[in-house]
Amino acid sequence: MIARRPTLSMLVSAALAETGEAEACIALLANGGAEIASLSFRRMAERHGDIALVREALIGDARLPSDCRHTLLVKVGEALARSPLVAALVGRARVEKVTRDACTRASLTLIDATRAEEYVALVEHLRLRRDLTTGFLIRTVAHGKVDFFGTALVVLSGQDATRVRALLARGQDVALTALFRRAGLASATHGVILCALKVWREVANGTRLAGVQEVSWLMLQELGGPSGTGDLAGLVKSIHLEALRENARGHALAIASEAA
């Protein structure tokens, strides 16, 4: 009843988010007259993110901070991992890997829906969760999310944001590799990251047309081609195969649409 009042102050909303049951939180989120702080969104996601109706209400709210959206993505992945149906379809041994990969891809999509000014909060959230891995950062570069990658470098290296942006836009390889080292990226990853950045620079300058499929292929060539071995080569290969499948799906849908 309190959550449905025509107007609610941020203080009352905070109390409901902290102590209210799931039904009260759903009513609060449906109340257009309620002022809800970012912290209150986070508490509802933490307390009731396992409940599908609460997740739906939270995700449907345009005010939801990006780190909360990621928390809910993880909650969905955990729910899928516990599902007997998913285990029966893919096998119990593969459930964890499949759900983890799905969460990673969803996190990449989440970046597109996040405003640039919220990147720092999202990076810090991922870092604290230990999800800001080298593999995830390589995926962001391969997918052309250079601004987000730059924000991650700022957070990890402690360097000035303006300087990092300038280096990513036009910096020399030596300066960039020094930045990567300061951010804690292994030397083995520097070549593929530089390769991707050079292509995306050309795309941004209008001198080249390329997408994830082409960029990931060039990154793979940097590691010795499809026959390359090792974890890094396996990661880049998986990014390339995902891009191939996505492009093929897009072409198939386009052909079906034209046929209809």
pLDDT digits (tens, 9 = 90+) for 124-181: 888 888 889 999 999 999 999 999 999 999 999 999 999 999 999 999 999 999 999 9
102 and 71 in a single domain? The answer is: yes
Residue 37 lies in a domain: yes
Residue 254 lies in a domain: no
52 and 13 in a single domain? The answer is: yes
Tell me how many degrees the CA angle 177-185-243 measures, rounded to the nearest 5.
95
20 and 50 in a single domain? The answer is: yes
39 and 88 in a single domain? The answer is: no
49 and 37 in a single domain? The answer is: yes
Query: How many domains does the structure of the chain reveal?
Result: 2
Q: How far apart are CA 176 and CA 31, in angstroms?
A: 48
**Structural domain of 77:** 65-117
Residue 252 lies in a domain: no
Q: By mean pLDDT, which of 91-95, 99-103, 127-131, 240-244 is the weakest?
A: 91-95
Intra-chain end-to-end CA distance of the chain, in Å? 50
Give the pLDDT band (50/70/90) at residue 260. low
Q: How far apart are CA 78 and CA 72, in angstroms?
A: 10
38 and 81 in a single domain? The answer is: no
Among 63-72, 205-214, 222-231, name the most confident range: 205-214
74 and 20 in a single domain? The answer is: no
Q: Are 213 and 243 in contact (CB under 8 A)?
A: yes
Residue 230 lies in a domain: no
Q: Are 81 and 95 in contact (CB under 8 A)?
A: yes
